[in-house]
Amino acid sequence: MAYLFTSESVSEGHPDKVADQISDALIDHFMAFDPSSKVACETLVTTGLVTLAGEVKSNAYLDVQQIARDTITKIGYTKSEYQFDAKSCAVISAIHEQSDDINRGVDRGNPMDQGAGDQGMMFGYATTETENYMPLALDLSHKLLQELADLRREMKDITYLRPDAKAQVTIEYSDDNVPQRIDSIVVSTQHDDFSENEEEMLNKIKTDIVEILIPRVKAKLPAKLQALFTDDITYHINPTGKFVIGGPHGDTGLTGRKIIVDTYGGKGAHGGGAFSGKDPSKVDRSGAYATRHIAKNLVAAGVASEILVQVSYAIGVVEPMGIFVDTYGTANVDMTDGEIAKIVSTVFDMRPYAIETRLKLRNPIYSDTAAYGHMGRNPEIKTITFKNAGREETVEVETFTWEKLDFVDKVKAAFSL
Q: Which helix (H) or strand (E) holds 285?
A: helix 283-301
**196 known ligand binder:** no
**274 known ligand binder:** yes
Among residues 289, 292, 264, the alpha carbon closest in space to that of 124 is found at 292
**279 known ligand binder:** no
**404 known ligand binder:** no
Q: Does residue 262 contact residue 268 with C-beta atoms inside 8 Å? A: no
Question: Which 3 state secondary structure label does DSSP give 290?
Answer: helix
Q: Does residue 6 contact residue 234 with C-beta atoms inside 8 Å? A: no
- How many angstroms separate the CA atoms of 279 and 143, rounded? 27
Q: Which helix (H) or strand (E) holds 219?
A: helix 214-219
**371 known ligand binder:** no
3-state helix, strand, coil in the chain (%, to 5): 35, 25, 40
**232 known ligand binder:** no
**243 known ligand binder:** yes
**165 known ligand binder:** yes
Among residues 372, 371, 377, 370, the alpha carbon closest in space to that of 401 is found at 377
Cβ-Cβ contacts under 8 Å for 378 (sequence gap 6 or more): 132, 400, 403
Among residues 268, 385, 324, the alpha carbon closest in space to that of 121 is found at 324
**403 known ligand binder:** no
**258 known ligand binder:** yes
79 φ, ψ to 5°? -120, 140
**55 known ligand binder:** yes
Evaluate the CA torsion angle 241, 247, 248, 254 in order and state its sign.
positive
Beta-strand relationship, 253-254 and 322-326: unpaired
The alpha helices in 314-405, defined as continuous H runs, are 337-347, 352-358
- How many angstroms separate the CA atoms of 84 and 77, rounded? 7
**415 known ligand binder:** no
Question: What DSSP character marks residue 389?
Answer: T
- How many angstroms separate the CA atoms of 7 and 45, rounded? 25
Q: Does residue 277 contact residue 238 with C-beta atoms inside 8 Å? A: no
Q: Does residue 250 contact residue 11 with C-beta atoms inside 8 Å? A: no
Beta-strand relationship, 179-191 and 234-237: parallel
Longest dimension (CA), the chain: 68
Evaluate the CA torsion angle 410, 358, 343, 275 in order and state its sign.
negative
Return binding residues for ATP: 14, 164-166, 242-243, 251, 257-258, 274, 278
Annotated binding site for Mg(2+): 16
Binding site membership: which residues? 14, 16, 42, 55, 98, 164-166, 242-243, 251, 257-258, 274, 278, 282
- Which residues are known binding-site members for K(+)? 42
Q: Which residues define the annotated binding site for L-methionine? A: 55, 98, 251, 282
